[in-house]
Structure 1
């Protein structure tokens, strides 16, 4: 006799999210998916990706403009994908169109992104699709996180994802047995969608890296999520209740560590490793002298980055955390690959107005070990620790306290003392505007972001300027009563 937990499986839905170019885990997922397809048959297994598969911190992704990620999705027999912010915001639209149009054999679904100039969906994007598996018509809708200030600079119009999903659900509902939203908007908004958008049976979530080992059931909507970095894949068995015609779900998250890399996927990674090594091997600058980078104190390469931010944004002051740079540069040729290796974060410049008091607060914190050594995860940051602050356009005097700690004793902008009451224009990084690290910098006003440039692009330009390099070696922080180590 069939019980509430014992019903026939008509289809299996496998979902990945937020892999962030952990390519080896993507290759293991391909093995797991192949196993499911062998057991149930390819006509009953549907694999989808919920975005942020690409991450430009990985050389194979950087060197191929994401083509390696598309090919790995093919190796895993992915049949639909949506865009995360790591696809939508770290690649310019022309590159996205090229890689998806030329490589992707699956539909790319985003219902809340359109071209800014005509409010139309580009030809390589679609809001939704219907795929039949095991006799079940499965409607798929994609939505992505809304970052309008950033997307508009790239020529995109991004609308409310919940409203977009609801509108698309109303169109699809009469034509499908199961309605699924592939959601890269985060768990809090997934909950809201389940509460506010009628007709949705299943939400597959990403963006906030949440792991739901047991699904959430909100009203008639089931919410699932499989964590981050491809450590797990979501697995959902789908059946149809014969009495109500409503779908039934059994959901779990399967660890992939025990699976071998799928041979085809492993070959893809190796091929793109070689191709990317060639592409990133081009020389972008030649240095006559080495440029040291330290996270715990002033050093030339972070100073150069602070100066680059100040010049690029035409600001009075440049501010950046030293943790953005993972190593220094040796004398001699500098390749694109080396620059990517030491500055992998897809972080953009920005300009803001910031009070002297807020600048002073951040500078004082930047002398404290708990800030220098603070681990940071996410927000575009691909380094390890926050690091102290480097400055340009400023001169700082610090001194040792009786306990041996450093403290700020004086700060100057040009030749004038830093005025706590005055607002200064500051060239810095978008990460600080998200409320991470030196929190007082988030208090800036009149924020302007610069896209598509990353901070490593600014640094590459600065490496050609011998005067800027010489200036970066000049001390901006004078330690009284002892030397930093």
Structure 2
């Protein structure tokens, strides 16, 4: 029996960790040097872009695209960090005008219900006389996508539809997924006809592929620490898939690729220049601390309150990496101290739930709580910063019994009354101060 071998190299959730991309490029180059030229397919499963990094923010994502072009990606899907932190016209420019790879995504539509001309719901790639069908999906944060003029649909429904279409014409079907490990496993259990799922979104790592029914699940962790590899062995005559093998390879041992390093350095210089303009000048320092009242944290809460037109402003000081010293404040500096791509929102929250969040904020357990994901780019939750509230509390009282009285605009906070609160969308995901999630979202401000 004669067989063909195809090698799929995949990344996911790089989140603009540019320091890893030259090593990933060298690893991919080594595979190309040691393989038949057209047997390699390079794929990214979303969230390559993250606006926390100067190179990305200062170039509106161009740095990421040019690095991916240089590495030689063949196709990608979009993650929520691409879809929800960049405006549609910016996405169109990046992926239609700059990218040399294809965007595969089957559950994202514009306001007219059409698929943009730079997106393929599915795509068949012919390599070594084997037709490999690719389908892409992304996490369906419809409340957020709608504010940007998108309609994102159920990814499982989208996959089922595309598999039915593409399976008739493809020898192999690969799903490029940015919906997370739980969805990937569900898809493998419920939908026939998918040979491999390349996963992302939940930052999970499969050191070797995991098989569910006839589908192999693969994922390469987070932040570019690994390069995923999948070797497909296909019967040359029948085109049947004979064998699947793979592993996630640490990229740390690889020497950085000089061309990719040069591109990153170029965009670091350009982006620094683009962001190095003054937005404010301080006469006094604005400190940010995690365990007490923070002038800069209070300013953030005040800004949220005013921006959303609320009665109360709430924000956790953990959003702030450090404070500000007297003198000029640039946009670059603001990005450095507050890198999280998190948006304001207006909520209606009962007084008792606000009071309980403040009680939690007065405990070491909550102030020092590590937070990962949900747009948060800090380390710990930190104290809850307030605006529009006055709190009387006893620091020596037992935990969760410290608050004595709370005033809102000179009136005592009523436990059963609902208040308009300007805060951050992270709290709507049931993260951090959990009682705030009980409120009703009136409006997301996206992207801000």
TM-score, with structure 1 as normaliser: 0.89
Aligned to 1:83: 78
Q: Of 35, 60, 65, which residue of structure 1 is paired with 2:30?
A: 35
The answer to whether 1:74 aligns with 2:61 is: no
- Give, in angstroms, the shift of residue 404 of structure 1: 10
Q: Which moved more, 1:105-114 or 1:328-337?
A: 328-337
- Classify the secondary structure of the residue corresponding to 2:173: strand
Cα offset for 1:59?
A: 0.6
Which residue in 2 is equivalent to 1:336? Answer: 331
Shift of the alpha carbon at 1:302?
0.9
1:433 to 421, 424, 428: 428
Aligned mates of 1:402, 1:445 — CA distance in 2: 31
1:198 shift after superposition: 2.5
Alpha-carbon deviations, 1:323-347, whole Å to 9, x = none?
Answer: 1111112222211100101110000
Tell me what 2:164 maps to.
170
Q: Which of 164, 181, 186 does residue 187 from structure 1 map onto?
A: 181
Q: Secondary structure at the match of 2:119?
A: coil
**Quick one: distance in 2 between partners of 1:447 and 1:361?**
21
Corresponding residue SS for 2:58: helix
Per the alignment, do residues 383 and 446 of structure 1 end up closer, same or farther by CA in structure 2, a change over 3 Å counting?
Answer: closer
- In 2, the alpha carbon distance for the partners of 1:408 and 1:376 equals 25
* Alignment partner, residue 58 of structure 1: 53
Q: Does 2:306 match 1:311?
A: yes
State the match for 1:203 in structure 2.
197
**What is the distance in 2 between the residues matched to 1:88 and 1:239?**
34
Aligned position for 1:397: 392
Q: Which residue matches 1:152?
A: 146
- What is the count of residue pairs matched by the alignment? 447
Give a deviation string over 1:270-305, Cα, whole Å, max 9, x none. Answer: 111100110010112222332222121112111111
Structure 1 residue 170, shift from structure 2 partner: 1.5
Shift of the 243–43 alpha-carbon distance from structure 1 to 2, 3 Å rule, reads closer
Match of 1:474 in 2: none
Mapped to 2, the partners of 1:400 and 1:26 lie a distance apart of: 48
SS of 1:10 mapped into structure 2: strand
Deviation at 1:163, TM superposition (A): 1.1
Answer yes or no: is the 8 Å Cα contact 1:367–1:406 preserved in 2: no
Note if 1:412 corresponds to 2:402: no
Q: Hey, what's the Cα distance between the residues in 2 that align with 1:104 and 1:245?
A: 31
| 1:133 aligned partner | 127
Question: How far did 1:405 drift?
Answer: 10
CA contact (8 A) 1:400 1:406 kept: no
In structure 2, the CA distance between the partners of 1:260 and 1:412, relative to structure 1 (3 Å rule), is: same
Q: Would the aligned equivalents of 2:3 and 2:235 in 1 still touch at CA under 8 Å?
A: no
2:3, 2:236 within 8 Å by CA — same for their partners in 1? no
Aligned equivalents of 1:285, 1:432: Cα separation in 2: 28
Q: Distance in 2 between matches of 1:40 and 1:280?
A: 42
Change (3 A) 1:441 1:215: same
Q: Tell me the equivalent position of 1:469.
A: none
> Larger deviation: 273-282 or 218-227?
218-227
Name 1:467's counterpart in structure 2: none
Cα distance, 1:399 vs structure 2: 1.7
Give distance in 1, aligned partners of 2:40 and 2:318: 44
**Matched residues in 1 for 2:118 and 2:278: separation?**
34
**Superposed displacement of residue 244, structure 1:** 6.4
Q: Which residue of 2 aligns with 1:269?
A: 264
Alignment of 1:241-280 (within 5 A): 241=235, 245-247=239-241, 248-280=243-275
TM-score between both structures, scaled by the size of structure 2: 0.96
Does the CA contact (< 8 Å) of 1:16 and 1:49 recur in 2?
yes
**Residues 190-239 of structure 1, C-alpha deviations (whole Å, 9 max, x = no match):** 11111222321111110011111132222211111111111111101111
The separation in 2 between residues aligned to 1:8 and 1:231, in whole angstroms, is 32
SS at match of 1:105: coil
Structure 2 residue runs of 5 or longer lacking an equivalent are: none
Shift of 1:438: 0.5
Distance 2:236 2:257 in 1: 38
Greater alpha carbon shift after TM alignment, 212-221 vs 141-150 = 212-221
What displacement does 1:176 show? 1.3
RMSD: 1.7
SS at 1:108 equivalent: strand
Partners of 1:416 and 1:441 in 2: how far apart? 21
SS of the equivalent of 1:174 reads coil
- 1:386-440 deviation per Cα after TM superposition (whole angstroms, max 9, x unaligned): 1101111110112232689992222111111111111111111000010111011
